Chain A
Amino acid sequence: MKRPNPSSTRNGRRLTRRALLIGTAQFALMGGLALRMRSLQLKQAEEYRLLAEENRINIRLLPPARGLIYDREGRVVADNEQNYRIVMIREDAGDVEQVLQKLGELITLDPDRLEKAREEMARRSPFVPVTVAERVSWDEIARVTVNAPALPGIVPEVGLSRKYPYGSDLAHVIGYVGPVSDYDLNRIDDQDPLLQIPRFQIGKTGVENKLERALRGSAGTQQIEVNALGRVMRELDRREGNPGSDIQLTIDTRLQSYIEARLEGESASAIVIDVENGDLLACASAPSFDPNLFVRGISVPDWQGLNEDPYRPLAAKAVQGTYPPGSTFKMITALAAYEEGLLDPEETVFCGGFVEVSGNRFHCWKPGGHGNVNLHESLKQSCDTYYYEICQKVGIEKISEMARRFGLGIQHEVPLSAVAAGLAPDRDWKLRVRGTQWRVGDTVNASIGQGDVLASPLQLAVMTARLATGRSVTPRLIHSIDGVETPSGRGTSLGINENALRRIRAALDDVSNHNRGTAFGSRITDQENRLAGKTGTSQVRRITQAERDAGITSNEDLPWERRDHALFVSYAPAEAPRFAVSVVVEHGGSGSGAAAPIARDVMLQALYDGTPPLSTYPQNVRARISEQQRRIDAMIASKFAASDRA
């Protein structure tokens, strides 16, 4: 058997030839590597050795200036102010304690800050600069700079920090920034090297948080040569970053400040929305807090104070708080029935003070009942029995569907923290969440906005704007980013029967302008700017039969946290709506007593873009109103005097 020798065949010769060719190519490429090594290590060695040793190249990040936030009138509501701080680089310092001691002889150091800095230095890499003193005066900076040779690793820096000139008035809208924490770093998936800068400030809540990316901008870099002492020899290269985008809000700060002052002493919230385009002119929650406290890092007692306050100042109640909408929900029930053709507006229902539904007794708010009421009267006098009757014909599914068309039970897209979705309950929801079947009694409760129905003040304002216009108005908080306007929230027609809307609006007009309307006391007497609205009083808990028997029927007999929530939704002018206002006063008692007067005052401020003439108020309250106005003016003035000093 003859074994063919591969190299003797034609094929084998080709293999040898090609192997040699590839082998030669490989060695040529290796030669290339050797040449490259020679050029890097021998020819340019001096240059690189210099870079590496005598002058180390440092790459520094240049933090961009954070975008400013303006209100609709162009007032700066989130500003950057310069401050000086002193940082220390452990690697360059050598003996950290000795250097800190020397530094302590030159300037006063805060022991808490120092403790934090030591901890941070132990944790981070040696070349990461750590802040040892913040908000240092110019004199102190000068002293440190003069003594720089004796303070290795100490570098004075100038930085920008956030300032909120309007303090607590816009705290819930703008939110606040704070130093990036390990918790933030773990939570957000963000490769931005800026976040590695110690104590870099990022938005924690509100618009500052939701529009963080736009506001932050991008980092610039600076390549510098420093000598062995850490002195900057020269700048090799500098690439400027992009400053953050400026943002303009739709908020009118003047109106917002007025509302915050007007709500003083209550746990309440109010929304003002422009029905034309959905602009949120005000979004106020009271009490509030000073966001500037958080920028510096809030102290423990301050934090505990805010957290333990029963009025919950940290919560942005206007968007986060959800309440049973009470009687402000009745328009939804009525429209659902009307759309289904189950409601004749002229037909009357007899209200005898209560209705029995499957063995349970449901009370109207008026003990003796309203007698015969039609749709118009039921809204004007806020009769409950009327809705107990019609809702049973419509059923919960249609009611909740109508609620969602009006923006209840769905989360509106507003760049604020924890915007509540509220709840428009239906059979499916109850089965899923509660695990029980929907019952007629649930529908009866829901028909007057009690039971499971939940809505936030923002949702109520949107609902009112949609009632007033018949369009799917959506709220808009950001007017423009870097001068580019965001889409308007004008919306398109909801497709609701215009006749039905007209009747509802006529009834809402009478609520505050007819002498038997529930909000007659809070009317606007200027006929051009008549207020249309609906009161709501939502029970926090059911009044038990035992309490009823013991004579406890009114709120004044109850402790604060068990009193009813007071609600009022409104729009004006009644004939040609411009603004919608919703007000919720937590445990305020009744809608007509606690919420409607606030809504009227706020509405007038919005309509007149300033303090309205007294003639717009009914004769009997003018003296009290002018006293109130003086008090509020003084309150606003003193607040700004204080913030100017600080």
Chain B
Amino acid sequence: MSYLEYNVKYVPSGFRKLFYVNWQIVLLLLAIAGVGFLMLYSVAGGSMRPWVEPQMQRFAVGMVLMFIVAFIPIWFWRNVSLLGYLLAFGLLIYVELFGAVGMGAQRWIDLGFMRLQPSELMKVTLVMLLAAYYDWLPANKVSHPLWVAFAVFLVLVPTALVLRQPDLGTAILLLSGGGAIIYFAGVHWAYFATVIAAGIGAIFAVFQSRGTSWQLLQDYQFRRIDTFLNPANDPLGAGYHITQAKIALGSGGWTGRGYMQGTQSRLNFLPEKHTDFIFTTLAEEFGFVGGIALLGLYALVTLFCIVAGLQAKDRFSALICLGIGVTFFLYFFVNMAMVMGLAPVVGVPLPLVSYGGSAMLVLLAAFGLVQSAHIHRPR
């Protein structure tokens, strides 16, 4: 589909685009970020510092970025998706090579006002590239083994790199996100059945490998799995987090202890109270009602992404919307499951709520893509 074809029907231009922005998603993102500011204010003990202020600044930058991305036609993004992927990939290699030696194992690049984690950037550029790839690929070749293998290759290479860092959380997100797009694109279901069977086999192999010379996971990763399966085994280490998170969550009850009244999450029981474990504070202070409300906001965002994907008239837009929806879903799902003791502690932030620049900026830019697809949809 070319630019000309788009022009056959009406596509808004200039400031008229503002009327076609999907304002529901913008409002939802504002609401979720607002929850984040409230919680960061609370865990800081009723103070704008050290977290709320920088978080607000980044959110403002992110919103501007979202609108810039949204106003640029979606076909432009399709054309630069390979470039974006290669850039993110290059940065990943860069931190892998230089981060480990020169900068004390850091995984970010200092941009002055924030630290950019290439692995976060990769989550979106991978979605873009796969969407562009399946947009370009004729429909009858989608299930051809060679073309499937190439898509899998595009997913596995960055996954392997972040796994080396080691960042299990991001690796899971890349793998599931990439897999979802390949699935949406229409690859034959037999591939997925095979992968799932192999996955079960792999999990078996991972457990079998423990303690042998070909051990597949780091010791600490095994310990996290152990701890997840039985938190009481390690009440002072990683199990401590899970136990304390559960106590904080559980003590919230129906309506919680009230804003700024949480004791568990603020008594320094949780070292990552402002990042990965911020949901515990919310659940303790606002209770079940607060937790469900946030979950509802997230669910609505996911729903709007799916709707935007189904409304899209071209394949690239459809896959972008669905892919970003799935990536966003994976963020909050893995984080919440982890905090509630349903998944091992892997280190995934709660999107737009946890303190942290890279994830927020990249997510908002990603929603810019969804908006761009929405705005530039031929009507």
Q: Bound complex: CA of A9 vs CA of B322, how far in Å?
A: 18
B185 to chain A, nearest CB (A): 8
CA distance A261 to B326 in the complex (A): 80
Contact-residue size bin, chain A (C-beta under 8 Å from the other chain): 35 or more
* CA gap between A15 and B314 in the complex, in Å: 11
Picked from A20, A125, A237, the residue with its CB within 8 Å of the CB of B268 is A125
Establish whether residues B250 and A41, one from each chain, have CB atoms under 8 Å apart when the complex forms.
Answer: yes
The answer to whether B236 and A52 touch across the interface, beta carbons within 8 angstroms, is: no
Is A48 interfacial (CB-CB < 8 Å)?
Answer: yes
Asked whether, in the complex, the Cβ of B250 is within 8 Å of the Cβ of A48, the reply is yes
CB of B324 within 8 A of chain A?
no
Partner of B250, one of A10, A23, A44, A221: A44
Interface size on B, residues (CB 8 A): 56
Q: Known contacts being A3-B378, A30-B295, A45-B253, is A223 close to B329, with CB within 8 Å?
A: no
When A3-B313, A18-B183, A30-B295 are in contact, do A53 and B253 touch as well, CB less than 8 Å? Answer: no
Flag if A14 contacts B186 (CB, 8 Å).
yes
Report whether B326 and A53 are in contact in the complex, using a CB–CB cutoff of 8 Å. no
The answer, among B1, B248, B264, B342, for a CB contact under 8 Å with A3, is B1
Quick check: B251 and A27 within 8 Å, CB to CB?
no
The interface stretch among A32-40, A79-87, A391-399 is A32-40
Asked whether A22 is an interface residue with its Cβ less than 8 Å from the other chain, the reply is: yes
Residue numbers in B under 8 Å from A497 (CB-CB):
none
Q: Given A40-B250, A42-B254, A44-B250, is A19 in contact with B5 using a C-beta cutoff of 8 Å?
A: no
B287 interface residue per 8 A CB criterion: yes
User: Which residue of B is nearest A38, CB measured?
Assistant: B288
Complex contacts, B253 vs chain A, CB 8 Å: 41-42, 45, 49
Q: Is A11 an interface residue (CB 8 A)?
A: yes
User: Chain B 236-254, CB within 8 Å of chain A: the 1/0 string?
Assistant: 1000100000111111111
Find the A residue at minimum CB distance from B309: A19
* A-B contacts, CB under 8 A, total: 136
**Are A11 and B1 in contact (CB-based, < 8 A)?**
no
- In chain B, positions 52-93 with a C-beta closer than 8 Å to chain A are none
Whether B197 is near chain A, meaning CB under 8 Å from some CB there, is no
B333 beta carbon closer than 8 Å to chain A: yes
Cβ-neighbour of A1 out of B5, B180, B186, B313 (below 8 A): B5
* B328 CB to nearest chain A CB (Å): 10
Tell me whether B288 and A221 are in contact (CB under 8 A). no
Please tell me which one of the listed residues A37, A53, A125 contacts residue B249 in the complex, with CB atoms under 8 A apart: A37
What string of 1s and 0s marks CB contacts (under 8 Å) between B40-57 and chain A?
Answer: 000000000000000000
In the complex, what distance in Å separates the CA atom of A20 from the CA atom of B306? Answer: 8
Please tell me if B292 contacts chain A, counting CB pairs below 8 Å. yes
Q: How far is the CA of A59 from the CA of B232 in the complex (A)?
A: 12
- For the complex, is B310 an interface residue (Cβ under 8 Å from A)? yes
CB distance from B268 to the nearest CB of A (A): 6
Q: In the assembled complex, how far is the CB of residue A128 from the closest CB belonging to chain B, in whole angstroms?
A: 11
In the complex, chain B residues whose CB is within 8 Å of the CB of A3: 1, 5, 8-9, 313, 378
Q: Are B251 and A51 in contact (CB under 8 A)?
A: yes
Contact of B302 with A by CB under 8 A: yes
Supposing A22-B184, A33-B295, A52-B264 touch, asked if A41 and B313 sit within 8 A by C-beta, the answer is no
A346 to B38, CA, bound (A): 97
Q: In chain B between 214 and 269, which residues have their CB closer than 8 angstroms to a CB of chain A?
A: 232, 235-236, 240, 246-254, 263-264, 267-268
Interface string of A46-78 (1 = CB under 8 A from B): 011101110001010100000000000000000
Residues on the A chain within 8 Å of B139, using CB: 9-11
Contact pick for B236, options A48, A53, A221, CB 8 Å: A221
Is A16 at the interface (CB under 8 A from chain B)? yes
Residues 189-212 of chain B, each 1 if its beta carbon lies under 8 Å from chain A, else 0: 000000000000000000000000
Kindly supply a per-residue 1/0 record for chain A positions 197-233, scoring 1 wherever the CB is within 8 Å of any chain B CB and 0 otherwise.
Answer: 0000000000000000000000101010000000000
Q: Which of B299, B303, B340 interacts with A37 by CB under 8 Å? A: B340
Interface of B, secondary structure class, is: helix
B124 to chain A, nearest CB (A): 18
* B336 interfacial by beta-carbon distance below 8 Å: yes
The reply to whether the CB of A108 lies closer than 8 angstroms to some CB of chain B is: no
Q: Are A53 and B263 in contact (CB under 8 A)?
A: yes
Tell yes or no: B32 within 8 A of A by CB. no
Q: How far is the CA of A193 from the CA of B252 in the complex (A)?
A: 30
List of B residues within 8 angstroms of A29 by Cβ:
333
Chain A residue numbers with a CB within 8 Å of B142 are: 11
Q: Does the CB pair B183–A41 fall under 8 Å?
A: no
Taking CB atoms, residues of chain A closer than 8 Å to B240 are 59
For residue B105, CB closer than 8 A to chain A, the reply is no
A219 vs B237: C-alpha distance when bound (angstroms) = 12
**A523 vs B23: C-alpha distance when bound (angstroms):** 104
- Establish whether residues B1 and A36, one from each chain, have CB atoms under 8 Å apart when the complex forms: no
Q: Is A628 an interface residue (CB 8 A)?
A: no
A360 within 8 A of B: no
Give the contacting residue for A22; candidates B5, B235, B318, B322; CB below 8 A.
Answer: B322
Shortest A511–chain B CB gap in Å is 56
- Among the listed A38, A44, A52, which residue makes an inter-chain contact with B263, where contact means beta carbons less than 8 Å apart? A52
Q: For the complex, is B337 an interface residue (Cβ under 8 Å from A)?
A: yes
Please indicate the chain B residues that have their CB under 8 angstroms from the CB of A57 in the complex: 247
Q: How far is the CA of A155 from the CA of B310 in the complex (A)?
A: 66
A299 at the interface (CB under 8 A from B): no
- Closest chain A residue, CB of each to CB of B326: A22
Verify B295–A237 contact, CB threshold 8 A: no
Per-position 1/0 for B93-107, Cβ under 8 A of A = 000000000000000
Check A15 against B318 for contact (C-beta < 8 Å).
Answer: yes
Q: Within 8 Å of chain A (Cβ to Cβ): is B158?
A: no
Give bound CA distance, A42 to B312, whole Å. Answer: 41
* Contact status B249-A33, CB under 8 Å: no
> Do A40 and B249 touch (CB < 8 A)?
yes
Given the interface pairs A18-B186, A22-B322, A59-B240, the reply to whether A52 lies near B250 with Cβ below 8 Å is yes
Would A22 and B250 be within 8 Å (CB), given that A11-B139, A33-B295 are in contact?
no
Question: Quick one: closest B residue to A23, CB to CB?
Answer: B306
Closest to A45 in B: B253
- Do B315 and A6 touch across chains, with their CB atoms under 8 A apart? yes
What residue in chain A is nearest B337 (Cβ atoms)?
A: A33
CA–CA, A221 and B283, complex, Å: 28
Is A486 an interface residue when CB atoms closer than 8 A count as contact?
no
Instruction: Digitize B317-342: 1 where CB-to-A-CB distance is under 8 Å, 0 elsewhere.
Output: 01000100010010001001100101
**Taking the complex as formed, is B344 at the interface, i.e. its CB lies under 8 A from any CB of chain A?**
no
Nearest-neighbour CB distance to chain B for A22, whole angstroms, equals 6
A26 within 8 A of B: yes
Question: Are the CB atoms of B186 and A11 closer together than 8 Å?
Answer: yes
B336 engages A237 (CB within 8 Å)? no
Q: How far is the CA of A240 from the CA of B1 in the complex (A)?
A: 69
A15-B184, A37-B288 provided; 20 other pairs, C-beta below 8 A?
A6-B312, A6-B314, A7-B310, A11-B186, A15-B318, A18-B184, A19-B184, A19-B306, A19-B310, A22-B180, A26-B333, A37-B295, A41-B250, A41-B253, A45-B250, A51-B251, A52-B248, A52-B251, A59-B235, A237-B232
Q: List 28 A-B contacts (CB under 8 A).
A: A1-B8, A3-B8, A3-B378, A5-B313, A7-B310, A9-B139, A11-B139, A19-B318, A22-B180, A22-B183, A22-B322, A23-B302, A26-B329, A36-B340, A37-B249, A37-B295, A40-B246, A41-B250, A41-B253, A41-B291, A42-B254, A44-B250, A48-B251, A51-B251, A52-B247, A53-B251, A53-B263, A57-B247
- A interface, CB within 8 angstroms of B: 1, 3, 5-7, 9-11, 14-16, 18-20, 22-23, 26-27, 29-30, 32-34, 36-38, 40-42, 44-45, 47-49, 51-53, 57, 59, 61, 125, 127, 193, 219, 221, 223, 237, 239
